[in-house]
Amino acid sequence: MRSLIAGCGGYLPERVVRNDQLAAEFGIETSDAWITERTGIRQRHIAAPGETASSMGAAAALQALERAGIPAAAVDCVIVATATPDSAFPATAVRVQAAIGAGPGFAFDLAAACTGFIYALGAADALIRTGQARCALVIGAETYSRILDWTDRGTCVLFGDGAGAVVLTAGEGAGDATDRGILSTHMHSDGRFADILHIEGGAGSTGGTGLLRMAGREVFRHAVSKLAAVVDQALTANGLAQSDIRWLVPHQANLRIIDAMGRKLGLPKDRVVVTVDRHANTSAASIPLALADASARGLIERGDLVVMEAIGGGLTWGATLARF
């Protein structure tokens, strides 16, 4: 049994905030040149007051289903990767399930920060391979604008809001790396580094601001080495080489990290999907949004081998290999 990627969708809030607007609107001491040079980000989307992870996730899911030509009633599993859920409970995923009219089944949230979509893909793939689901929606949805300290230019300029979704369906194949679908997902975490990227406090905490805190240099120091290692792990597990990769769809955190990964994999820039300049870092939503963008532009063709990778708070990191 193999999990086939049947369709991709995305949703971005209407409001766009450019780098040069941040200083004027939020009183941040920064500039377009400072942000662009260090991150590659030029703008981000900010959720409207009534928009939530579930409403954006539902919109992205419906687009993915439409592109896949699959009715919502066929969906028996909904997984939402998010660090900014609508509420502590019920899960954001059950709200999406209800909003789109998904069929009988189950829904749950998954928290792995920026690596959340990779973890969610791995979970959905395992559920399909073991026969517990036949059609799964895997969604990354985030409203980071609501957990940012808008006085901290080291973090608030980096993030944006949005949602992306992928439809997975069960299919059969030869069981090797020539098959279409998800070949394998490889997940890691190291809790010793939990405090270098975290949210202060939460529903079960006795205190804290509820705002995001990040030691940017420390996160950057871990990023490329851990991402390169997990991509190599995925290739080795499937008997593939870097030269077999057609597309890199990375977590959109920082253009320097993205460029470094492209070089390590020997990929030209036109084989790396980049949306960080337009979306900023949308955490768990960044990879599915990039997939939806690439899909809409007709970049990824049938049979292409795609590697997706991410690193986030936890620290968590992982990679998925898939053939479209």
Domains in the chain, ordered, with CATH? 2-171 (3.40.47.10), 181-323 (3.40.47.10)
How sure is the predictor about 200, in pLDDT bands with cuts at 50, 70 and 90?
A: very high
Provide the pLDDT for residue 136.
Answer: 98
Provide the pLDDT for residue 112.
Answer: 98
- Secondary structure (DSSP) of 76-115: -EEEEE-SS-SSSSS-HHHHHHHHHT--SSEEEEE--GGG
Provide the pLDDT for residue 179.
Answer: 86
The answer, yes or no, to whether the previous bond of 90 is cis (omega within 30 of 0) is yes
The enclosing H or E element of 2 equals: strand 2-11
Say if residue 177's pLDDT is above 80.
no
Q: Which residues are catalytic?
A: 114, 251, 281
Say if residue 318's pLDDT is above 80.
yes
Q: Which of 164, 172, 104 is nearest to 138 (CA)?
A: 164
Q: Round the average pLDDT of the chain to a whole number and report it.
A: 96
Say if residue 305's pLDDT is above 90.
yes
How sure is the predictor about 96, in pLDDT bands with cuts at 50, 70 and 90?
A: very high
**N-to-C CA span, the chain:** 16
Q: State the angle between helix axes of 216-237 and 255-264 in degrees (0 to 180), rounded to the nearest 10.
A: 30
CA dihedral 142, 145, 147, 152 (to 10 degrees): 140
Provide the pLDDT for residue 224.
Answer: 94
Specify which residues 207 forms β-bridges with: none
Cα 69 to Cα 201: distance, rounded to the nearest angstrom: 42
Least confident of 28-32, 106-110, 117-121, 193-197: 28-32
Q: Which residue has the tokens 């500039």?
A: 31
Say if residue 29's pLDDT is above 90.
no
How sure is the predictor about 182, in pLDDT bands with cuts at 50, 70 and 90?
A: very high
Spatial strand order of the sheet with 2-11 comes to 2-11, 161-171, 135-143, 77-81, 106-110
Average pLDDT on 74-94 reads 97
Q: Any residues with CB less than 8 A from the CB of 125 and at least 6 apart, and which?
A: 3, 168, 182, 185
Say if residue 99's pLDDT is above 80.
yes
**For residue range 229-263, what is the model confidence (pLDDT) as tens digits?**
999 999 999 999 999 999 999 999 999 999 999 99
> Positive or negative, the Cα torsion across 138, 139, 140, 146?
negative
Helix, strand, coil shares, percent, the chain, to 5: 40, 25, 35
Longest dimension (CA), the chain: 58
187, with CB counted inside 10 A (0-12, 13-18, 19+), is middle
Identify whether the C-beta of residue 144 lies closer than 8 Å to the C-beta of residue 253. Answer: no
Provide the pLDDT for residue 173.
Answer: 74
How sure is the predictor about 30, in pLDDT bands with cuts at 50, 70 and 90?
A: confident
% of the chain beyond a pLDDT of 70: 99
Say if residue 24's pLDDT is above 90.
no
